[in-house]
Structure formats: C-alpha cells, structure tokens
Structure 1
Amino acid sequence: MNDVSQTLTQPGAAQANWFEFAKRHRSLLASIFVLIFPLIMPFTALAVNILIYGLYALGFNLLFGYLGLLSFGHAALFGTGAYLCGIAIVHFALPWYLAIVIGVLGGIVMAAVIGGLAIRTRGIYFAMVTMALSQCVYYLFYQAVDWTGGENGLRGINVRDINIFGLKFDFIDPMTRYYVVAAFVILAFFVLSRILASPFGAVIEAVRENEARARASGYNVTLTRLVTFILSGAFCGLAGALAALHLSIVPIEIMHYETSGMAVMMSLLGGMGTFFGPFVGAAVYLLLENLVSLWTVHWQLIVGAIFVICVLFFPAGIWGTILKRMKQ
C-alpha cells in the first residue's frame, strides 16, 4: 500500500520540485533561452527588438505586475534613457558604455521625478497623472531641437566597434549586436531576480496583495512604491539606451503615449507578475506586427483583436496560463 501511495505522489512531487528549481534558477533558465533565441528567429534585427522591448516590458512589469500600479508614463523613462544615451554619444562623443550608464541614470532620475509627483495617487488617477507627466516630458524633448533633433529625432548615433577588455567587436554585425544587447539583458535578469528574491521583493508583493495590512505591519508603503518606480525606471532607461545604440537614431515617437501602451499590452499578453512573461508578450506582439503588416497596412486592427481575445480567454497572459496549466 505504501508503494502504491508513493507511486501516486511521485509525479506531483517531481512537478513541485521542478517548479521550485525553475523559480530558484529562473534568471539562469531565461538567460539560456536568450542565448539560443536568435537561432529560432527569422532575422536577427527582430530578435534584438524583442530583447530591447522585452526588457522595457520587464521594467514596466516590476511596477504593474508585482506592485499593482498601472502606469501610462513609462514612455518617458524609456525615451529619456534613449535620448540621454544618444546625446552622450552625438554631442559629447562619450564611449558607448558611459552613454549606457548615462541612459540608465536618466531613467532613474526621470522615474524619481514622475514617481515623486504621482506616487501618492491611486488607481486610475495614478495612471492618468503618469500619462500627463509623460506627455510633458515628450513636449520638453520635442522642443529641445538643438539637443534632440525635435520632430526629426536624434540622428548620428553611430557605434561601429565595441571594445571589451581590449577585444574589438564589429557592432554592425547583426549577431554581434544581438549578443552585446543580450549581455545587458542577462545582467538585468539576474538583478531583477535578486530584487524579487530579497526581503524588499516580498514587501513589494505584500503591498500589492493588501496595502492596509502591509502598512499595519510597519512598512512604509509610499516609500516602497517610489523605490519600485525608480527601479522600474532603471530597467526602462537601460532598454532605451540599448534601443538608441541598436537603431542609431532616437525618434521622437519613442516618447509618445503609444509607447507606454505597448508596455501594457506586452505585459498583459505575456502575463503580468511573471518573471519571463514580458518577453513572451514582446515576442508575440512584435512577431504579429512584422507578420501581419506584410499582408495589410491595418495590422493594428488585427493585433488589437488578437489582444482582446487573449485578455478574454487567457486573463493570466500566455506565459501565465502555461504556468498555471503545468501546475495542475
């Protein structure tokens, strides 16, 4: 009888052990997938875009999925990182790695400003305030023609070679470009995983689940919200800086509220509050955009319809639904 019961419980135990292993090593597993990802994509440039926008959605998901705050202002964080990285290269001729650091710092500072002004609001008011502040940032960058190029965007971000510890790599080569971007994305994976596994990560989720209980337990809810917003800005600023290097141009549209909407769609498509869901959402969104746009100029209508279907029938997102089915 004991042998029978052990046989019946072994599959469930093995599955539980697998999920525990995957959770503990989620950053490593995600990194391995990123390394082989260009081998299964139709072309490398699309793979690079998925990495960059997946990182952008990852930063947004830290605020939306894990903390529960819906922001429509993340385009300002993403765009600030891109513009400051580009300005550092075009106007000050700084090395690419310093330009990336400046882009990340720009995302952090912009998040601190927007978060400091919006963080005390709740619900739809928070979403509207962040969108209004983001549009103010859009207008500022649009008017700073001498620095940002205004309507024409910032051009001339030409990085041809990447020097790493004395080794020179051709950044124009698509595969080299992919793996340079992938190195930063993998670093972001490990940083985010460490944040979520830390006591602060537990506080973030506690605030999302029950704000009143978290406050009664002695946690500073307002400070937690602000710090999470700033951390989100760091990831988005890094994504923006990588986008500037990849495109060699920063279009003003990168600051538009539609870019904020993309982060929302990618997180919902992939699965908000999941570690790898934003990348799944970014891959699905960008693949649909590239494939459907070959058939019709009205690709947004079809992608929007697919998005509605996914939200209705897969409320946990594609990746979130897969995880739930595997746990059953």
Structure 2
Amino acid sequence: MLRRTYVTPAITLALGALFILLPFAAESFIVKTVTEVLIFGIFAMSLDLLVGYTGLVSFGHAAFFGIGAYAAGYLAQNLSPNLFINMPLALLIVAGAALVIGFFSIRVSGVYFLMLTLAFSQMVYAIADRWTDVTGGSNGLAGIPRPRIEILSFQLLFEETTARYFLVLVFFLLVYAALRWIVRSQFGHALIGIRENETRLRAVGYNTTRFKLMAFVIAGVFAGVAGVLYAGFNRFVSTNELYWTASGQVLIMVIIGGSGTLVGPALGAALILILQNIVSSSTDRWPTIMGLVFIFFVFAARRGVMGIIRAALAKAK
C-alpha cells in the first residue's frame, strides 16, 4: 500500500529536481536542447487538444506556430522585445488567424478536415514566402532580439542560456496546467463527447460547432505561445516553420507520445528531437530512422510512450 501511494509523488519530485538542477549541472548544448524540447512540447500539447481530446486531426497546426514566431520576431524588431507587449499582440494575431481558419475547417470532418487544414497552412506558407517586407521571404527574419520583461524601471533580461531555459520551463508548466484544467472542465468533457460521438452530443442540445471552433482557437493560441518562445530562443524564423513537414512532425510527436494524455505528446517531442540530434550527427538519413521509429509505435505501441510508461507504473504498483 505504501509503495502504491508513494511511487507517483516520488517520480514527480525526482523530475522536478532534475529540471531545476539541469542548467547548473549540464553543458550548454544539453540545456539548449532541453529548452527546444520544452518549446516543442508546448507545440505538441496544443495539438493534442485537437487530436487527442476533440478527435480533429489537423495537418496544418504549424501555421499557428509559425504565425506566432513571425509576429513575435517582427514586433521584437520593430516595436519592443518586452514579452508583456509582443506576446499578447502576437497571440492576438494568432487567435484571429485560428478563428478564420477554424471557421471554415470545422465545417467538415475526417480526412476533409485534415486536407483543409493542410491547404490553409500552405496558404499561410505561401503568403509568408512572398511578404518579404514583413517576413523576409525565403531569407526569413534574422537577428531577432532576445526576449525581456520590463515593468516600469524593473527589467529582466534573458541573454543567458540558463535564464532562457527557466523562462521556457515556466511557460511549459503554465501551458500544461492550463490545458489540464481545460480538459478536466465541463468544456473538456464536451470535447471528449465530440470525439466519441458528435451526433449524440448534438442530439442532446450541444452546439458542437461552437465547441470545436473554441477548441481550434485555443489550440492555435497555445501553438502560438510555442512560436513566440521559439523566435526568442532561436533568434531566427524561416518559412520552414510554416511548411507542411512541420505540421507532420508535430503530429508524429503526438502519436508517438500518446494522444489524449498531454504529457505523452511532450514526451514524443523529447524523443523525436533527441533522436534527431543523435542520428543526424552520424548520418544524413535520419528521416528514414524516424520513419522506422514511427512504424514501430504504430504497430507495437499504439498508445505511445505514455502507454508504455503507464504499463510500467502499473506493474511497479
């Protein structure tokens, strides 16, 4: 009984200590890699709200990540790198784009929804590629100022790798907490109902179209948060962040990690990015390796990394 009671809290405390001590004990390269993992973890969790909880498989989610990154980069260069200014403005732009794209996309379902989100994402990519005055076109936005927080005379800079790591970690925890609250709320239960049987939910009086649109916008905004952080972390944004392959990659993160779990997609992001760094350093055929990993999870571990962990914890208890 004691073992069953303390296994999960012990793991939570160990992970908390690991994340706090990491930047003080690890090399700069490792800290930068984990920071990138946390950013893409936010991105993957945002998509999980659609895929895992609402049953809407989007192949255009990178549009909101890219819009958030471009908006934050442009605002940092031309207005202010203050996160209290450029993040709300960037997310407002992302929310507007998600509202427009979602309004049309949620009218269809299944493969039609997937293809329509892909089409809209490619439209955003084409606009970014040609709108050189704002996006830099194929050259991208370079030299984006590092993010900072300014309140009156108080100023908090994020020039150091460790400072940026903790900034991203805080946002990761906030986004996770917000999404966890959402999926456990009545709104979240309605989304799960849409995933399980939308017709039945509509029959008992739910406006499923409104719920799906709200979920689409919320997911888009959280993807935008990841994009804003990415712009400040990378100091460069290109059209690659908007291309369909970016949407495909984050979808693979969700599937490999375990959809409908929130934590799973974040673990999927960690697995993909770490493997990518390891494999790409020794061979240029890392996409083939990633494909084999994906095939393995599809056939041998359909519940993803989170499913494997839950099975292991169940045995430990």
TM-score, structure 2 as length reference: 0.90
Partner residue, 1:282: 269
Partner residue, 2:187: 200
Q: In the alignment, does 2:96 pair up with 1:98?
A: no
Partner residue, 1:43: 30
Partner residue, 1:124: 111
1:170-220 deviations in whole A, cap 9, x for unaligned?
Answer: 422111110011111111122112111211111111111111221122111
1:34-80 deviations in whole A, cap 9, x for unaligned?
Answer: 54565578611101110110100010011001111100011111000
- Stretches of structure 1 that go unaligned for 5 or more consecutive residues are 1-9
Partner residue, 1:240: 227
Percent identical pairs in the alignment equals: 35
1:106-144 deviations in whole A, cap 9, x for unaligned?
Answer: 221111111101101110000000000110011111111
State how many pairs are aligned.
312
TM-score, structure 1 as length reference: 0.87
| Contact map agreement 2:81 2:148 (CA 8 A) in 1 | no
- Stretches of structure 2 that go unaligned for 5 or more consecutive residues are none
CA distance in 2, matches of 1:109, 1:160: 23
User: For structure 1, which segment, 271-280 or 85-94, has the greater mean C-alpha deviation from structure 2 after superposition?
Assistant: 85-94
| Contact map agreement 2:82 2:148 (CA 8 A) in 1 | no
CA distance in 1, matches of 2:239, 2:83: 21
Partner residue, 1:321: 308
- Pick one of 147, 157, 160 that aligns with 1:173: 160
Q: In the alignment, does 2:41 pair up with 1:54?
A: yes
CA distance in 1, matches of 2:86, 2:201: 39
CA distance in 2, matches of 1:30, 1:249: 31
CA distance in 1, matches of 2:115, 2:209: 18
Please, what is the CA RMSD of the aligned residues? 2.5
* Bigger Rg, structure 1 or 2: 1
1:132-143 → structure 2 map (5 Å cutoff): 132-143=119-130
- Rate the CA distance shift 1:27–1:98 in 2: closer, same or farther, 3 A: farther
3-state SS of 1:43 partner: helix
| Contact map agreement 1:106 1:237 (CA 8 A) in 2 | no
Q: In the alignment, does 2:202 pair up with 1:215?
A: yes
CA distance in 2, matches of 1:92, 1:162: 14
Counterpart residue identity of residue 237, structure 1: G
| Contact map agreement 1:35 1:182 (CA 8 A) in 2 | no
CA distance in 1, matches of 2:249, 2:97: 19
1:77-100 deviations in whole A, cap 9, x for unaligned?
Answer: 100000111111112235233111
- Pick one of 207, 217, 230 that aligns with 1:230: 217
